[in-house]
Every structure is written in C-alpha cells, then in structure tokens.
Amino acid sequence: MEHMKVDIMVAGGVAAGMSAASQAKRVNPQLHVVVFERGPYISYGACGMPYYLSGDIPDPMRLIALTPEEAHQKRGISVYTQHEVLDVDPDAHTALVRDLLSNREILVEWEKFILATGARAWTPPVKGMDLPGVFVLRTLSHALEFQQFLNSQRPRRAVILGGGPVGCEMAEALKKRGLDVVVVEFLEEIMNTIDADMGALVHEELRRNGVGVRTHRRVERVERTRDGLHVIIGEEVVNCDMILVATGVKPNTELLTKKGVAEGPAGSVDVDEYMCTSFEHVFACGDCADALDLVTGKKVYVPLGTTANKQGRVAGAVAAGVEVSFPGIVQTAAVKVFDLEVARTGLSERQAREAGFDVDTVQVRSRSRAGYYPGGTPVHVKLIYEKNTGKLLGGQVISREGAAKRVDVIAAVLYFGGTVKDLYNLDLSYAPPFAPVYDPLILAARRAYRWK
C-alpha cells in the first residue's frame, strides 16, 4: 500500500473542494494540499449542464474552469481524479483512498481534512428506476452520457420526474432538441421553491411552450415494453423513450456520519461559521454541509453553487490558519424557464408560517420598464413579511426580464434584517429603459408598508 503525508486533504474536487484547496494555497503557498476526486472532472459548472444539453453551449469542456494539470501548474495543488476516499479516521488523522483505475490503495496522513463530496441525485423508491433509458443529471459525466443517448438513440418523447428548477430547465432543453416533454410533479404545483400561486405562472409558461404538466401526481412504477418506457401515474400511462429523474439530491456525508459526526438537516454535516465539524481539524463545505439561515436563525440544507464556493473558500482559509467566517444564507436562487426569469429569496409563505411567523403577504403586477417605453413586460412580485413588525421574510419575482436582479435587492434587505419600510425607502435607480419611476419592488413594499 502506498503512503502519503499531506498538510491538507480535500475529498471532492468540484465547486467547494477546489475553492477550498485554492484558498488554502493562497493563504499559505508552502502547504502541501491534495485533492481526491471520484469522478474524471474537477471544477466544472454543473449549473450549465442543461444549456449544454439544449445546444446553447456546444462544447461541454467550456463548463470546466480548471483542469488537474492547471491546478498543479498554476496553483500548486495536487489533484487525483478517479480516486475515491473509502474511509476517514478523524482520531488517527488518516484516510484510505482507492485509485479506481488501477485499484491500488493509498493511506494518507493529514493534518487537516476537508469534506467537499457534494450530493448525489435522489431517486424515488419506485420500481423501474434502474431501467435503461432512465437518467439523472448531477455530474458532468451524467451530462455526457445523456448527450450520447440523445445523439445516438434520437428519442422523441421524454418524461421528467420532478418540476423543480432542474426539471423545468431540462423541459426547456429537451423541447429545444425537438422532444415531446411531460413533467410529473408530486406536489400541488410546479417549482416548489416558490409558493403555489407564483408557481402557477411557471406552470402556464411550460404549457404555453408545449410541455405537458402533471401536478399533484405520484409515479407508481416504470415499465419497459417493446415500444419504449411506460410511466404509470395513477390511472394514466405516459409513454416515452427516456426519463430524467430530477426529484432532488441527498448529501454525500457517509465518510463522516458513520464516524459519528454531528449532523444537520436532511443528513448534511453540521458546521459552524468557520466550516468546522464536531471533529477537531475536520471541515465540511458545499453540498454536503448545512448553513445558517439568516432569516430564521436556524440551520438549513440548501445546496447551491454560490454557497458551495463561499463555504469552500472559508474552509480552505481556516484550515490554512486564517480566521474568517461564513455568516449564512438567505436562500437566493433564480432559474430560467423558457422566456421567464423565476427568482426567489428568503422564506416562502409556507416556510414562514411553518417557522412560526405571523405572516402577511402582498402581490403586485407591474412593468419592467416605463409604460411608454417599448419592450417592457409584466413583473410579478410577491413579498412575505411579518404582520406586526413589517420584518421582511422573503420575496419572489417572475418576469421576462429583470426578475433575477430585482430579487437580489430583496436579498440584500434580508441579509441586513430589514423591513418592508426599508425596502420601500431604498434609492433604486430609474430610467425608462430599465424600470418605471416606481419600481415594482417599491410598489410592493409600499402596499405592504401601507404608507399614506
């Protein structure tokens, strides 16, 4: 068995892992930092995979920000791809790694260990999920496999299980490829990251673009026959040539949870603001770790690329000896669904009620530009706030332009614990090509504030 001794060992080499390794080397270039990645690629933009599959990005290698060779030459990081970390001993400061190509094993002695193993696709416990033609989309390797199937088999019909952000993005991608697409969602409405009344707008956009939508429906099983795959949802049978399972993810935390590490929501690893776990000298970051929700003050599991990169930088810096911290998140995200920008931040109305807030909401429909300026589109805004105090709890914006950047304004107010009055009093920019004199956010805040 080969032996290796390192200062910092990182398990996982995509967003959080490479951010951690890179930051550690910036802080202290003398450190021996090693990254082990189970897959063949590192440091790639997974969020760009639907646009690769749609044809908008023709070359998948454009999604890769850094290769192992570049990581070594430019940053001094040793990267081993197709190497799986099999076991970690937090007390002995060792880890067992297997080279998946040669099957040789390496015993690594480390001073600091960073878990950045991300998350894996979760598939529902339904018969037929392992049949040929059933895909998940979590890694770049998944995307390449998916693309090869599309090019070689020329499927005509697709079913997407899950109507969240990835499911909706892939509905657009596959429609662009000329497929007939049906989206099946277990919950009452499409896009469960926003409230059902706003999700109805996304539902209509899918239908407008020829996507079949089945909401509040449970998949019973999947079968393969001579004419393709059959998806049984209740009494309905949907025939297709391929299925994409986009029903969520589960954090890859087994390396530490089997050792008794403190856990967070949804099986994630619990970390403090320094990305420290309950084990000394062991850190976790990215899609395998939890984060503090700044609105509720409670831990949440919200796997997003922005959070992964920030947490990775903090983990790497702290492991290298610099005391920095990651304060938390307000769950800001945006997704493109055909011509719609769908953006959200903070708590949804449902989440706010479940958190125990005395909730009130307001919705407005305004315009993205001055009414007399050509090209404007409707902007739908929903604000969620505490009834008595006016404390802003969340916001959702849907439009054909400007929704993503407008929700960032709400996110900033949430970050600083502001109220609907604070949002109303913001000095936002105005020019006819960009916004009406009363921006849709200001209109919504004014209605919530009830200023006379």
- What are the pLDDT digits (tens) for 29-85? 999 999 999 999 999 999 999 999 999 999 999 999 999 999 999 999 999 999 999
| CA dihedral for 119, 125, 130, 134, sign (positive or negative) | negative
Confidence at 409, pLDDT banded by 50, 70, 90 = very high
Q: Which residues contact 415 (CB under 8 A, 6 or more apart)?
A: 294, 330
389-412: average pLDDT: 97
- What are the pLDDT digits (tens) for 135-169? 999 999 999 999 999 999 999 999 999 999 999 99
Structure tokens at 110: 């480390």
How many other β-carbons are positioned within 10 Å of the β-carbon of residue 355? 15
Structure tokens at 238: 């949907």
For the chain, the average pLDDT equals 97
Mode of pairing for the β-strands spanning 359-367 and 378-386: antiparallel
Proportion of the chain above pLDDT 70, given as a percent? 100
Indicate which residues carry an active-site annotation.
47
How many other β-carbons are positioned within 10 Å of the β-carbon of residue 277? 24
Would you state the pLDDT for residue 451?
A: 55
Q: Look up the pTM and report it.
A: 0.96
105-124: average pLDDT: 97
- What are the pLDDT digits (tens) for 202-259? 999 999 999 999 999 999 999 998 889 999 998 899 999 999 999 999 999 999 999 9
- d(CA 18, CA 313) in angstroms, rounded, equals 9
Structure tokens at 320: 């290298």
Domains of the chain, CATH where assigned: 2-118+250-319 (3.50.50.60), 123-245 (3.50.50.60), 339-447 (3.30.390.30)
How many other β-carbons are positioned within 10 Å of the β-carbon of residue 269? 28
Would you state the pLDDT for residue 450?
A: 76
- What are the pLDDT digits (tens) for 177-191? 999 999 999 999 999
The answer on pLDDT for 380 being more than 90 is yes
Confidence at 321, pLDDT banded by 50, 70, 90 = very high
287-307: average pLDDT: 98
Cα radius of gyration rounded to whole Å, the chain: 23
The answer on pLDDT for 280 being more than 80 is yes
Q: Largest Cα–Cα distance in the chain?
A: 76
- What are the pLDDT digits (tens) for 5-35? 999 999 999 999 999 999 999 999 999 999 9
The residue type at 423: L
- What are the pLDDT digits (tens) for 82-96? 999 999 999 999 999
Would you state the pLDDT for residue 452?
A: 39
